[in-house]
Amino acid sequence: MFKISAIGPQGHTLMARNTPTEALRKALELRGAGFANVRIGDRKGLLHAPETFERLFVEPSRGEGDRLLDWSPGPELLS
Protein backbone atom coordinates (compact mmCIF):
# COMPACT_ATOMS: atom_id res chain seq x y z
CA MET A 1 0.00 0.00 0.00
CA PHE A 2 1.29 3.46 -0.93
CA LYS A 3 0.05 6.61 0.82
CA ILE A 4 -0.25 9.98 -0.88
CA SER A 5 -0.33 13.17 1.17
CA ALA A 6 -0.76 16.76 0.07
CA ILE A 7 -1.92 20.16 1.26
CA GLY A 8 -4.85 21.68 -0.59
CA PRO A 9 -7.38 24.48 -0.14
CA GLN A 10 -9.32 22.44 2.45
CA GLY A 11 -6.20 21.45 4.40
CA HIS A 12 -4.21 18.25 4.59
CA THR A 13 -5.28 15.32 2.40
CA LEU A 14 -4.22 11.70 2.86
CA MET A 15 -5.18 8.76 0.62
CA ALA A 16 -3.87 5.32 -0.28
CA ARG A 17 -3.34 3.36 -3.49
CA ASN A 18 -2.41 -0.29 -4.00
CA THR A 19 0.19 -0.03 -6.76
CA PRO A 20 3.09 2.36 -7.37
CA THR A 21 1.63 3.36 -10.74
CA GLU A 22 -1.72 4.29 -9.18
CA ALA A 23 0.04 6.23 -6.42
CA LEU A 24 2.16 8.19 -8.87
CA ARG A 25 -0.84 8.91 -11.09
CA LYS A 26 -2.83 10.28 -8.12
CA ALA A 27 0.11 12.35 -6.84
CA LEU A 28 0.56 13.97 -10.24
CA GLU A 29 -3.18 14.59 -10.46
CA LEU A 30 -3.13 16.36 -7.09
CA ARG A 31 -0.12 18.45 -8.07
CA GLY A 32 -1.87 19.42 -11.31
CA ALA A 33 -4.92 20.50 -9.31
CA GLY A 34 -2.77 22.94 -7.34
CA PHE A 35 -2.07 20.91 -4.21
CA ALA A 36 1.23 21.66 -2.46
CA ASN A 37 3.78 19.45 -0.71
CA VAL A 38 2.62 16.31 -2.56
CA ARG A 39 4.43 13.23 -1.21
CA ILE A 40 4.14 9.47 -1.69
CA GLY A 41 4.91 7.17 1.22
CA ASP A 42 6.51 3.87 0.28
CA ARG A 43 6.08 0.52 2.05
CA LYS A 44 8.86 1.42 4.51
CA GLY A 45 7.18 4.71 5.43
CA LEU A 46 9.69 6.93 3.62
CA LEU A 47 8.25 9.96 1.82
CA HIS A 48 9.15 10.77 -1.79
CA ALA A 49 8.37 13.62 -4.17
CA PRO A 50 6.57 12.27 -7.26
CA GLU A 51 9.70 12.67 -9.45
CA THR A 52 11.87 10.71 -7.02
CA PHE A 53 9.19 8.07 -6.51
CA GLU A 54 8.85 7.56 -10.26
CA ARG A 55 12.61 6.99 -10.67
CA LEU A 56 12.78 4.53 -7.78
CA PHE A 57 9.54 2.56 -8.07
CA VAL A 58 8.02 2.80 -11.57
CA GLU A 59 9.73 1.40 -14.62
CA PRO A 60 8.81 3.02 -17.97
CA SER A 61 6.48 0.80 -19.94
CA ARG A 62 7.31 -0.86 -23.21
CA GLY A 63 3.69 -1.38 -24.19
CA GLU A 64 2.90 -3.88 -21.44
CA GLY A 65 2.17 -1.39 -18.64
CA ASP A 66 4.27 -0.05 -15.81
CA ARG A 67 5.59 -2.39 -13.17
CA LEU A 68 7.07 -2.11 -9.72
CA LEU A 69 10.82 -2.43 -9.56
CA ASP A 70 11.61 -5.30 -7.19
CA TRP A 71 14.20 -4.18 -4.64
CA SER A 72 13.70 -7.13 -2.28
CA PRO A 73 16.24 -9.97 -2.07
CA GLY A 74 15.47 -13.20 -3.88
CA PRO A 75 14.73 -16.42 -2.00
CA GLU A 76 18.32 -17.60 -2.38
CA LEU A 77 19.50 -14.70 -0.19
CA LEU A 78 16.91 -15.26 2.52
CA SER A 79 18.14 -18.75 3.50
Domain extents for the chain?
2-60
pTM of the full structure: 0.70
The pLDDT, as a whole number, for residue 14 is: 95
Note the pLDDT of residue 34. 93
Distance CA 12, CA 78 (A): 40
Three-state DSSP string of 52-64: HHHHHHEECCCCC
pLDDT in tens, the chain (79 residues): 899 999 998 899 999 999 999 999 999 999 999 999 999 998 888 999 998 888 887 766 555 444 544 444 444 444 4
